[in-house]
C-alpha cells in the first residue's frame, strides 16, 4: 500500500473551515483514498473515501488532486466535537481490503 504523509498537528477555530492535507505520491491507479478519524478514547470512525473525483458527504468533503498524489479533507465548519486525530490511508480494496494507518494529524479546535 502507498505511504501517506500528514502534518502532525493542526489548529482551527470553531465554526471556521479546516483543510487537512495528505500526500500519497506513490499511489497507484487503483488505490482508493480513505479518511478516518479517532476521537479521544474511542476507536477510529470512517469519514469519507474517494478514487478520482471530489466527494461530499454529511461529515466532510474530500478534494483529490488531479494527479492523485495528494488530497485534502475539508471540514466546512469545525466544531469542538471535530477535535480528533485524522488518518489518511490509501489501499487497493478488493476482497483483501485493509487499512494501513500512519500517525495522523491531531486537530485541535479552539472555542
Partner 1 sequence: EAGVAQSPRYKIIEKRQSVAFWCNPISGHATLYWYQQILGQGPKLLIQFQNNGVVDDSQLPKDRFSAERLKGVDSTLKIQPAKLEDSAVYLCASSSFGTPRSYEQYFGPGTRLTVT
Binding site for partner 1 (CB under 8 A): 32, 34, 36, 41-46, 49, 85, 87, 93, 95-104
Distance of CA 97 to the CA centre of its chain: 18
Q: Of 74 and 101, which has the nearer Cβ to partner 1?
A: 101
- Distance in Å, CB of 55 to partner 1, minimum: 12
Mapped onto helix, strand or coil, the DSSP state of residue 22 is: strand
CB contact burial 46-55 (16+ within 10 A = b; e otherwise): ebbbbeeeeb
Q: Do 46 and 99 touch, CB atoms closer than 8 A?
A: no
Q: Looking only at Cα atoms, what is the longest distance across the chain? A: 43
Q: Of 69 and 101, which has the nearer Cβ to partner 1?
A: 101
Q: Of 13 and 54, which has the nearer Cβ to partner 1?
A: 54
- Distance in Å, CB of 33 to partner 1, minimum: 11
- Distance in Å, CB of 89 to partner 1, minimum: 9
Amino acid at each position: 500500500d502507498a505511504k501517506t504523509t500528514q502534518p502532525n498537528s493542526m489548529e482551527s477555530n470553531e465554526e471556521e473551515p479546516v483543510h487537512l492535507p495528505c500526500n500519497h505520491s506513490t499511489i497507484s491507479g487503483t488505490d482508493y483514498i480513505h479518511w478516518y478519524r479517532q476521537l479521544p478514547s474511542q476507536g477510529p470512525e470512517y469519514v469519507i473515501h474517494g478514487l478520482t473525483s471530489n466527494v461530499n458527504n454529511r461529515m466532510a468533503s474530500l478534494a483529490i488532486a488531479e494527479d492523485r498524489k495528494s488530497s485534502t479533507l475539508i471540514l466546512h465548519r469545525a466544531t469542538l466535537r471535530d477535535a480528533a486525530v485524522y488518518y489518511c490511508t490509501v489501499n487497493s480494496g478488493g476482497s483483501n481490503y485493509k487499512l494501513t494507518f500512519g500517525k495522523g494529524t491531531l486537530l485541535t479546535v479552539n472555542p
